[in-house]
Structure 1
Amino acid sequence: MTRTLHTRLVRAVRGPGRDRGSYALETAILAPVVIGMLLLMIAFGRVTSAAGSVDGAARAAARAASLERDAGSAQASAQAAAAGSLDGEGVTCRASSVSVDTSGYFLDLGQEATVTATISCTADLSDIGLPGLPGSKTLTASWSSPLDTYRGRQ
């Protein structure tokens, strides 16, 4: 009886001996998983943010092009507006292109016309360092803006 009481007291003070080191093992297994999940969330956040910035740049480019009176000026204005918008948002593209459809400038006065700007930006993801994640992602956005129906065109 004394022996059983002594054993119970020792176990109560020391705790169960089978769980020794289990917290260290759990941490060693779960820490890389948690870090990988955090890096994946950062990557998705950056891609989503860059996609919104590219969409905003397409909108700015189309609006700037629609305010010009001729197709050549519209193209130059759209390029400048897209570059300014992307720089303002802090988006750096490995490669980018701005395409502006200025065919609306060649329609007769009184006809409804639009200018469409399409922007393609290859966002860099290589600095995240998550294995299996692509080094870059190409984002494309398009936006149309109406031309004034009765304003003189080219």
Structure 2
Amino acid sequence: MAGRERGSVSIEVTILVPVFLLLVALAAVAGRGVVAQNAIEVAAHDAARAASISRTAAAADANARAAVDESLRNQGLDCAALSVRTDVTDFARPVGPADPADPPVVSVSVTCELSFADLPLPGPLDSTVLTAAFTSPLDWYRSRS
């Protein structure tokens, strides 16, 4: 009986090691995706806040882009492609307590293409696109021109 089971451990290891390595690679992808999504959300929040305290629509757009770049750099996230859209249409509206139910806001949407090219993954998964958006009310006490 002992002769028949000889070599079964090596067959089990041969089958289980690739499965284990695949699980480790998938855990790395999932972990990188979660950390990157959080970084994108923080960047969108920072950008909306920076835009909301700006004095002009042009400055709001520039400040939002700068805030996204700084936030992602501080968090160590390098996007293969980065897009920042800032909606500053409410800068034309008066700021103040005229309509507290519908205050003027600035919205920022950040889209990042996250690359997995450095991970040894089987199959076609080499990148994913992550998006986050945040809206912040315009600062009432900041003068605008």
Aligned-pair identity (%): 39
Structure 2 partner of 1:53: 39
Indicate yes or no: 2:86 matched with 1:100.
yes
Q: Given residue 39 of structure 1, which amino acid in structure 2 is its aligned partner?
A: A
- Structure-1 separation of matches of 2:67 and 2:142: 22
- Structure-1 separation of matches of 2:111 and 2:95: 31
Structure 2 partner of 1:122: 113
* Of 127, 133, 140, the match for 1:142: 133
Alignment check: 8 A CA contact 2:81 2:113 kept? yes
Give the structure-1-normalised TM-score: 0.86
Q: Given residue 138 of structure 2, which amino acid in structure 1 is its aligned partner?
A: L
What SS does the aligned partner of 2:144 have? coil
Give the structure-2-normalised TM-score: 0.91
1:57-96 to structure 2, matched below 5 A, reads 57-96=43-82
Alignment check: 8 A CA contact 2:95 2:138 kept? no
- Structure-2 separation of matches of 1:127 and 1:133: 13
- Structure-2 separation of matches of 1:51 and 1:74: 23
Cα RMSD (Å) of the superposition? Answer: 1.3
4+ runs deviating over 3 angstroms: none
1:27-38 to structure 2, matched below 5 A, reads 27-38=13-24
> Which protein has the larger Cα radius of gyration, Structure 1 or Structure 2?
1
Alignment check: 8 A CA contact 1:69 1:153 kept? yes
More helix by share: 1
Q: Report the CA distance between 1:150 and its aligned residue.
A: 5.0
* More RCO (CA 8 Å, sep 6+): 2
Q: Report the CA distance between 1:109 and its aligned residue.
A: 3.1
User: Residues 23-78 of structure 1: CA distance to partner in whole angstroms, max 9, x if unpaired?
Assistant: 11100111000001110110011011111100110000000111111111111111
Which stretches in structure 2 are left out of the alignment for 5+ residues? none
Structure 1 partner of 2:27: 41
Alignment check: 8 A CA contact 2:53 2:138 kept? yes
- Structure-2 separation of matches of 1:151 and 1:60: 18
Alignment check: 8 A CA contact 1:113 1:149 kept? no
